[in-house]
Amino acid sequence: MNKHRKDGIDPVARSRSRRRALQAIYAWQLSGGDVRGLIAQFAHEQAHEEADLEYFEDLVRGVLLHAEELDGTLTAHLDRGIEAVDPVERAALRIAGYELIYRPDVPYRVVINEAIDSTKRFGAEHGHTYVNGVLDKVALALRGIEARRTQ
C-alpha cells in the first residue's frame, strides 16, 4: 500500500519531520546553537524512523533564519509577548508561522492541525487551544483568501 499522495508527499513522514523540528526549535529556544548543530543533533533520530529529512531541515533552517520576522507576525495575534509564551507552544507557533508564510504548497488547515497535534503531544494540557486560536488569526491574516474560501 502506497502511503504517498498523488504529489509524492508522505503525510506521516512530514508529521514526524514537524515533531522533530519542534524538538529542535525548542532546544534552540532554551540553549541556542547554530543551525548545523541542531540539524545534526536531531537528524540522526529521523534515520531511525521514516521522516522527511529535507522538510525537517527546511523547517529548522527557515525558523532560525526568519525568527525575528516570524515573531513579529505572531506577536500581532498574541495576548502577551512572544517570550512569555510557553516554549513548546512558541516553537509550534514559529514552525506554523514559517509554513504559513514560506510554504504555500501546504494547506493552511494542515499547518494548523499539525501544530495542534504537536502541542497536544508535547505541550501543556490546554496549550493546543491557545495555539489553535492564535493560528486561526494568523492564517486569516496571511492566507485570508484561502481561509475564507474553505469556511
CA 138 to chain centre: 13
Mean pLDDT, consecutive 10-residue stretches, the chain (151 aa), reads 63 92 93 82 65 90 96 97 97 98 96 97 94 96 75 56
At 147 the pLDDT is: 59
pTM given for the model: 0.89
Q: How far apart are CA 28 and CA 122, in angstroms?
A: 16
The C-alpha cell 492564517 sits at 139
At 32 the pLDDT is: 86
- Smallest CA-to-CA distance from 11 within 93, 110, 135, 108 is with 110
Q: How far apart are CA 55 and CA 18, in angstroms?
A: 8
CATH numbers and ranges of domains, the chain: 11-149 (1.10.940.10)
At 2 the pLDDT is: 42
